[in-house]
Amino acid sequence: MEDLTKSWGCLTLSDVEGSNLKITEDEAVTEHVLATKFLTKRALNIEAIAKTFSPIWRAKNGFKIRKEGDHVVLFTFDNKTEIDKVLAAEPWSFDKHLMVFQRYDKDIDIVNMEFNMVTFWIQVHDIPGRFKTRAVAEKICGILGTVTKPTGDMDVEGDGFIRVRVTVDISKPLCRGRVISLKNGKELWVSFKYERLSNLCYWCGSLMHDDRDCELWLESEVPGFFSNRQGGSRSTATASTSRTSKPPSVVVRKTGPSPEIMRPEKEGAVSTPETVIAPNVQE
């Protein structure tokens, strides 16, 4: 090898061989890559994934797919618009398990990428009638993450709710709703429903793992954060009450058009609430 290196060092190039040919970035093959984390412990079937999403995404020139790392798959498109279309239709799931996307520019090691941001349509329910506007709903959802303003004629008003597009940090438990305060001092509970929500942990509200992998489930004998069931359906998720005799810090009572907040420390001892805080899954 050393002899070969010396030989090349003594080589004299002709004018043609030694001409300075510059290749610009514009001449490179442009690829747009979407790194995707599948939140499941099951082995991934790449062929099944490709067959599932090819007819759904309908990329003009198709896409390439390659497994990369721990449940991470790279989808390669030849057009940035195709990636924009996929991200605009989040959330996506495969076999009822959430898929978390990130644009990948190949300058970052996939091992160092954090897959924890997903965009959802969130329905905001129980807003008092005269405040039921898109601006108020977006203000309420501001604490959840980054709110995306709708474009075009996108439908944001439903039957008794306002839809808000929010990018949520899924490393944190899902938020079930918020307490809002009116000018007269009255406090009301506003509940959230998440559209196209995949499997989640009913013990702690996390999307990063399911019930059986939750530390709370392993350590606790009481119903979970999101659970009132014993082997029930996920579509009826409801927050449970604690089995302790200590009054809860906030109780929600359905006394009118909007659930009203009652604080036991101000009202005195409160018996079992008529309505408990209820996170919901919108199929």
Averaged in consecutive runs of 10 residues, what is the pLDDT profile of the chain (283 residues)? Answer: 63 74 74 93 94 95 91 93 94 94 85 92 93 94 91 80 95 91 90 91 84 72 50 36 42 59 53 40 50
Domain boundary pick from 47, 80, 112: 112
Residue whose structure tokens are 């082997």: 231
On whether residue 23 sits in a domain, the answer given is no
**92 closest CA partner among 70, 104, 105, 75:** 75
Answer yes or no: do 105 and 210 share one domain.
no
Are residue 48 and residue 149 in the same domain, yes or no? no
| pLDDT computed for residue 73 by the predictor | 96
Question: Looking at the domain assignment, is residue 33 inside a domain?
Answer: yes
Q: Is there a single domain that holds both residue 148 and residue 196?
A: yes
User: What is the tally of structural domains in the chain?
Assistant: 2
Q: Given this model, what pLDDT does residue 110 score?
A: 86
Q: 123 and 105: one domain? A: no
CA 99 distance to own-chain centroid: 8
Residue among 191, 171, 162, 175 nearest 259 (CA): 191
| pLDDT tens by residue, 82-133 | 999 999 999 999 999 999 999 998 778 888 899 999 999 999 999 998 999 9
Whether residue 56 is contained in a domain is answered as yes
Boundary-marking domain end, from 50, 80, 112: 112
If asked whether residues 134 and 183 sit together in one domain, one would say: yes
| Dist. CA 256–CA 271, nearest whole Å | 19
Whether residue 140 is found in the same domain as residue 259? yes
For position 220, what pLDDT does the model report?
A: 64
Q: Per the domain annotation, does 256 fall within a domain?
A: yes
Same domain, 138 and 252: yes
Task: Please indicate, yes or no, whether residues 79 and 160 belong to a single structural domain of this protein.
Answer: no
Residue where a domain stops, chosen among 76, 94, 112: 112
Q: 221 with 190: CB under 8 angstroms?
A: no
Which residue type, as a one-letter code, is found at position 226?
F
Please give the single-letter amino acid code of residue 52: T
Tell me, yes or no, whether 16 lies in a domain. no
At 156 the pLDDT is: 86
- In a domain, residue 222? The reply is yes
Q: Is residue 126 located within the same domain as residue 228?
A: yes
Residue 13: inside a domain, yes or no? no
**How many Å apart are CA 157 and CA 137, to the nearest integer?**
10
Residue whose C-alpha is closest to residue 176's, from 198, 204, 148, 218:
204
Residue 53 structural domain? 29-112
Same-domain pairing of 265 and 153? yes
Quote the CA–CA distance of 80 and 155 in Å, as a whole number.
25
Whether 2 maps to a domain, the answer reads no
C-alpha span between 161 and 143 (Å, rounded): 18
Same domain, 136 and 37: no
Q: Is 223 found in the same domain as 163?
A: yes
Question: Is residue 206 within 8 Å of 214, Cβ to Cβ?
Answer: yes
CATH number, domain at 47?
Answer: 3.30.70.330
